[in-house]
Homo-oligomer: A and B are copies of this chain.
Amino acid sequence: MTSMQLGLIGLGKMGGNMRERIRRAGHTVVGYDRNPELSDVEDLAALVGQLQAPRTVWVMVPAGAPTQSVVDELGGLLEAGDTVVDGGNSRWTDDEKHAAELGAKGIGFVDAGVSGGVWGLENGYALMVGGETEHVERLQPIFEALKPEGPYGYVHAGKVGAGHFSKMVHNGIEYAMMQAYAEGWELLEKVDSVENVREVFRSWQEGTVIRSWLLDLAVDALDEDPHLDKLRGYAEDSGEGRWTVEAAIDNAVPLPAITASLFARFASRQDDSPQMKMIAALRNQFGGHAVESAEK
């Protein structure tokens, strides 16, 4: 495999590990981060200056304004024939905008959804890529370095935006799968006859229809804290779950399980539920049903 030069912007938990994995594969990475202790260069101009044309620059910064700002700055620093990859969690609709802005200057654009979390450095990152074939092919050695060994873990999903769209749907599916195990676990924990829920989960890791990596992680979590007593039932959500539902609405696709999973997270973050106050108030109005005071 040919050794490549890559500019990499954003060296946080994800970006830092990716730099390491790409270097292990024999490529040259010039990394930039706002934190000078992590950065190989002083600024983006210096990063671009160290790369030979045609250059390839991978952007790995938070979605939204930070990514927009980097794309804008790269638009002024790079030249026709160069290529920018957005490997962050951008919304797919941003990709089309970025591709158009850079394309006007002859700069190629590729979007890459990246999965792997804390396990990626060792096991590889799953990559879902969107863009024109000529731009995607140029990146192939880097994609090979990042992806897991074996036949899976990489796809050129389609046009610009298709990479982030696929990663977004991946996360939507992830929400509903996690919710599936969580619902089942709560029900098992609630029933007296089932005395060993953790061992039930462990047993499912082979021979069942529902075996999966998430199930393995659930067993790991239960080994650390058998009834999850140490945790609060509180779950954040990232943009991808919300965007998945919005994309479904745009396309008139019903997503009942994924949406239920998103709403369960919203509800988990409320100290008290305003809508259930209204339910309590109405029950009291028509039936004289008792209500509980907020001060309780």
Binding site for B on A (CB under 8 A): 13, 92, 115-120, 123-128, 130, 147-148, 150-162, 165-166, 169-196, 199-200, 202-215, 217-218, 220-222, 225, 228-237, 242, 244-249, 251-270, 272-289, 291-294, 296
Give the number of copies in the complex.
4
Given A206-B126, A247-B191, A259 and B263 touching (CB < 8 A)? yes
| Closest chain B CB from A162 CB (angstroms) | 4
Say whether A183 contacts B257, CB under 8 Å.
yes
Say whether B274 contacts A230, CB under 8 Å.
no
Say whether B194 contacts A158, CB under 8 Å.
yes
What B residues does A284 contact at CB under 8 A? 221
Q: Which of A158, A171, A279 has the most CB of B within 10 A?
A: A279
What B residues does A125 contact at CB under 8 A? 207
Say whether B200 contacts A155, CB under 8 Å.
yes
What B residues does A123 contact at CB under 8 A? 207
Say whether A182 contacts B228, CB under 8 Å.
no
Say whether A183 contacts B172, CB under 8 Å.
yes
Q: How far is the CA of A253 from the CA of B247 in the complex (A)?
A: 18
What B residues does A254 contact at CB under 8 A? 183, 263-264, 266-267, 275
Say whether B193 contacts A92, CB under 8 Å.
yes
| Closest chain B CB from A14 CB (angstroms) | 10
Say whether A233 contacts B275, CB under 8 Å.
yes
Given A170-B209, A185-B278, A217-B286, A253 and B158 touching (CB < 8 A)? no
| Closest chain B CB from A203 CB (angstroms) | 4
Given A179-B279, A236-B283, A260-B260, A193 and B158 touching (CB < 8 A)? yes
Say whether B213 contacts A211, CB under 8 Å.
yes
Say whether B274 contacts A228, CB under 8 Å.
yes
Q: How far is the CA of A256 from the CA of B196 in the complex (A)?
A: 24
A209: which of B128, B166, B174, B269 is its contact (CB, 8 Å)? B174
| Closest chain B CB from A264 CB (angstroms) | 6
Given A200-B128, A258-B180, A209 and B161 touching (CB < 8 A)? no
The 4 A-B pairs with the shortest beta carbon distances in the complex, nearest first, are: A212-B212, A233-B276, A126-B207, A176-B180
Say whether A207 contacts B282, CB under 8 Å.
no
Given A210-B174, A235-B280, A235-B283, A263 and B274 touching (CB < 8 A)? no
A214: which of B118, B158, B210 is its contact (CB, 8 Å)? B210
- Please list 15 pairs of residues, one from A and one from B, whose beta carbons are closer than 8 Å in the complex, sorted by A's number: A13-B288, A166-B188, A166-B200, A170-B184, A176-B183, A183-B248, A186-B278, A187-B248, A187-B255, A212-B212, A228-B277, A231-B293, A237-B252, A245-B245, A265-B279
What B residues does A279 contact at CB under 8 A? 178-179, 182, 233, 235, 264-265, 268
A118: which of B116, B186, B257, B288 is its contact (CB, 8 Å)? B288
Say whether B194 contacts A255, CB under 8 Å.
no
